[in-house]
Amino acid sequence: MLQYAVLAPFLTALIVPFLFRYIRAIHTGWLILPIPFGIFAYFLSQLTNISEGHTQLSGIEWVPSLGMNFSFYLDGLSLLFSLLISGIGTLVVLYSIFYLDKNEKLNNFYVFLYIFMGAMLGVVLSDNIYALYLFWELTSISSFLLIGYWYERQASRYGALKSMIITVLGGLSMLGGLILLSIITGTTSIREMIAASDTVLESPYFTGILVLILLGAFTKSAQFPFHIWLPDAMEAPTPVSAFLHSATMVKAGIYLTARLFLLFGGTDIFFVLVTGFGLLTLCWGSYMAVRQTDLKAILAFSTISQLGMIMTMLGFGTKEAAFAAVFHIFNHATFKGSLFMVAGIVDHETGTRDIRRLGGLMTLMPISATLAFFGAFSMAGVPLPIFNGFLSKEMFFQTSLDLETTSTLVASIAPFVPALAVFGSIFTFVYSMYFFFHTFTGETRGQLKVKPHEAPIGMLISPIVLVLFVVIVGLLPNMINEPILTPATAAIYGELPNKHIVFWHGFEPALYMSMIVVALGVILFLTRTKWQSVYNWIPGVLSANKTYDYLYNMQFRVSERTTRTYMTGSIRHYMLYILIFIIGATGVTLFVTDGFVIDTSDLAPISWPEVVVGLVMAIAAIATILMKNRIAAILVLGIVGYGLSLLFVFFRAPDLALTQLIVETVTVALFLLCFYHLPKLDTKKQPVGAKTLNIIVSVSVGVLVTLVAIASHSSKKFETIAHYFIKESHHLGGGNNVVNVILVDMRGLDTLFEITVLGLAALGIYAMIRLRDKGEMD
């Protein structure tokens, strides 16, 4: 059944283009809205089953030879995410029907969106690491396409590419980690890996694997310093931002960390990395959010910060923290989803998302303002029982105080954690207030192109549903405790949490922390114009974005520079590199393997004529290089050829001598004919250095080939197959001339294709002469 839930969105994506084309009267969104809702209903029906502790496993084989299968596993954790994906997916599709006009490229939009939905379900349901990786990359790709939906805009293209580069980088790193895991544990199933967690823990590659996999999780979940892609991803249409870039895709990294918690959790290195980067992201994201002027940018940095907070809790490694993380995953999806939708409504109705130009919208858009109020105050963690955000935030504070300080490393870091948690939360409070009050209260600050009015009801339904969750969960948190939160925590931590959520704990440190957040938050919010200049100091000119841009451009610059250095277009250079490589590789091999041997026992006596001919050939060969005139050079080169025919005569091979003689004569004649048309030989002086290098290289190649030739001759170990040819030539081949029999019979295939080569050469030359680009001739 699970595989059909994953498959359904993909199949829908396949038919969307046809629906869009042939049913123009109805907005395509309506036609495909039932799909995510059906999936949602299915997962809802699994709630009791899962909360009773049952799990579900099903799937289909893909490439069993490599252990790659689509095996899907439903437990508390994957159920929580599946519900979020299909539930918010339904709301987002509904919202998008009103957000995107029928004249938009809806076919593209819904294809990408449904591919994403299927892929995201695949990520959270896959038990097989390769299927997980497949869906993981598919979410990156669909996110890339959705961010680039308005591809005429430069910013969309920039954001799309940036998100893809960073998330695919992380994906590849994760793949490396997963491959190592599968090698160590001998399985490709995550459940079986977890069962073998001792092997992983003892492996010398533990740290390496952890770092590789966390790199995947951190890039996907926009952890510092990889968070930079998320603000640029806001170029996507707002339904996409609400769905991918706040509720689901960016939580894939969180999901992965939670899923592999039983493998890595509880170790010092896991705590340091996950909590460390989480806290850094929490503080940095909330601090930077206050500075933004675009509504969606505020929400983007807010998402970064909240993801950091969830990551931090996972890093804590305690059961309570895991529970709090799960709770906050749920809460964040509700309030952030609704806030994004409100931002989209504001953008839609006023034509701008620039918070400096907005204000006083409360009277014009009362419903949106109310929704924003609940979303923002829940996000800020205002201590009232109608905000679910407060409940999970207080748990965060509580767990930050209750760290298990068993190791000295954790003990030395633990005291700073609550302080940083409070620091980050203060800014969260500030930007939440800023988001709400600056948009909906006060005076209208700029001239708007259109007169704003409340959004159509269809657009409001989705955020209303989400805000209802904010309030209901705030009031009755235990309603989702047993069916959703407890099973999810159990799946992460391996034990049932037995946690009862209460609003009032009494006067506990966590409450004081909340009070500090609210008190300092209010002060900072009211005085924010006074301290804005702090951003000139931190981050000042430092920026991860600039680093990304620098690296991105540098890869092209460096590539171009290096490539241009050696790809000179000069055949001399190429030849030189190749020869140097030959000298190096062959020379070193000959030396290292002690391959050089010399054995003179098998040599024939050398007669004087042979010596003389040899010397003449050598002198002629050298002389060829020194000639200043082409014709002279080719004539001198001819001496080498004729010398060779003489040697053939001495070695009793008259037919070879004849062939050589003819070849030599014809080539010399041809050369002479051609050279008549060529300009004078360029005798430009080469620099001494280059000349010396050339001489060294040429001589070395010559020496090396000679050495290999001598060694080859001296290492004769076997009887050659030539004896067979001589013996059988007459008997089997029916000819007395062995060479002839070899050419036409024994190795006739060689001859056939050498003839083909000659034929091709003839055709090539004919084509070259006849078919020339007339325009380019001068």
Number of residues that bind another protein (CB under 8 A): 100
Does 157 participate in binding another protein (rule CB under 8 A)?
yes
CB of 501 to another protein, least distance (A): 40
Q: Is 684 exposed, middle or buried (0-12, 13-18, 19+ CB in 10 A)?
A: exposed
Give the binding range for another protein (CB under 8 A) out of 246-254, 347-355, 560-568, 655-663. Answer: 560-568
Tell me if 30 contacts another protein by CB under 8 A. Answer: no
The alpha carbon of 509 is separated from its chain's Cα centroid by a whole number of angstroms, namely 43
β-bridge partners, 56? 74
Q: Mark 173-210 as b/e (b = at least 16 C-beta within 10 Å).
A: bbbbbbbbbbebbebbbbbebbebbeebeebeebeebb
Does residue 566 touch another protein according to CB under 8 A?
yes
Nearer of residues 172 and 516 to another protein, judged by Cβ: 172
Q: Which stretch binds another protein (CB under 8 A): 73-81, 453-461, 622-630, 742-750?
A: 742-750
* Residue 581 in the binding site for another protein (CB under 8 A): yes
Looking at the Cβ atoms of 59 and 389, the one nearer to another protein is 59
Dihedral pair phi/psi, residue 128, rounded to 5°: -90, 130
Residue 130 in contact with another protein, rule: CB under 8 A:
yes
- Which of 422, 217, 391, 233 shows the shortest CA–CA distance to 314? 217
Report which residue type is found at 328: H
CB of 22 to another protein, least distance (A): 17
Token pair of 193 as six digits = 């890996």
In whole angstroms, give the CA distance from residue 291 to residue 438: 13
CB proximity list for 187: less than 8 A, separation 6 or greater: 67, 193, 196
CB 481 within 8 A of CB 398: no
Strand, helix or coil at 58?
Answer: strand
Residue 257 Cβ vs another protein, minimum distance, rounded to whole Å: 20
CA atoms of 419 and 401, how far apart (whole Å): 10
Asked if 656 is part of the footprint of another protein (rule: CB under 8 A), the reply reads no
Q: Please check whether residue 138 is in contact with residue 124, taking contact to mean a CB–CB distance below 8 angstroms.
A: no
Stretch that binds another protein, among 146-154, 508-516, 643-651, 689-697 (CB under 8 A): 146-154
Q: Which stretch binds another protein (CB under 8 A): 314-322, 339-347, 480-488, 570-578?
A: 570-578
* Angle (nearest 5°) at CA 222 between 314 and 99: 115
Residue 558 makes contact with another protein by CB under 8 A: yes
Residue 361 is encoded by which pair of tokens?
Answer: 């919208």
> What is the crossing angle of helices 295-316 and 388-401, to 10°?
40
- Binding to another protein in span 96-125, by CB under 8 A: none
Candidates 417-425, 609-617, 620-628, 764-772: pick the segment binding another protein (CB under 8 A).
764-772
Query: Rounded distance, CA 295 to CA 297, Å?
Result: 5
Task: Give the integer Cα–Cα distance in Å for 115 and 119.
Answer: 6
CB of 586 to another protein, least distance (A): 6
* Shortest distance, position 206 Cβ to another protein, whole Å: 14
Which one, 154 or 408, has the nearer CB to another protein?
154
Residues paired with 126 in a beta bridge: 72
d(CA 503, CA 80) in angstroms, rounded, equals: 23
Comparing CB distances to another protein, the nearer of 154 and 736 is: 154
Q: List the beta bridge partners of residue 60.
A: 70
Segment 179 to 208, residues that bind another protein, using CB under 8 A = 179-180, 182-183
Q: Is 160 among the residues that bind another protein (CB under 8 A)? A: yes
- Binds another protein by CB under 8 A, chosen from 542, 571, 678, 688: 571
Which x/- pattern over 582-621 shows residues binding another protein (rule: CB under 8 A)? x--xx--xx-xxxxxx------------------------
Tokens found for residue 708:
């290999």
Binding positions for another protein, 60-79, rule CB under 8 A: 61-66, 68
Candidates 85-93, 165-173, 356-364, 462-470 — which segment interacts with another protein by CB under 8 A?
165-173
| CB neighbour list of residue 225: distance below 8 Å, 6 or more residues apart | 544, 547
Q: Which is nearer to another protein, 476 or 722 (CB)?
A: 722
Mask: binding to another protein, 442-481, rule CB under 8 A, as x and -? ----------------------------------------
Q: Is 753 exposed, middle or buried (0-12, 13-18, 19+ CB in 10 A)?
A: exposed
Tell which positions 501-540 bind another protein, by CB under 8 A.
none
Dist CA 168 CA 140 (whole Å): 7
What is the per-residue binding string for another protein in 687-726, x denoting contact by CB under 8 A?
------------------x--xx-xxx-xxxxxxxx-xx-
Of these, 175, 236, 313, 325, which contacts another protein (CB under 8 A)? 175
Given the complex with another protein, which of 494 and 595 has the nearer CB atom? 595
Stretch of 153-161, 277-285, 322-330, 443-451 lying at the interface with another protein (CB under 8 A): 153-161
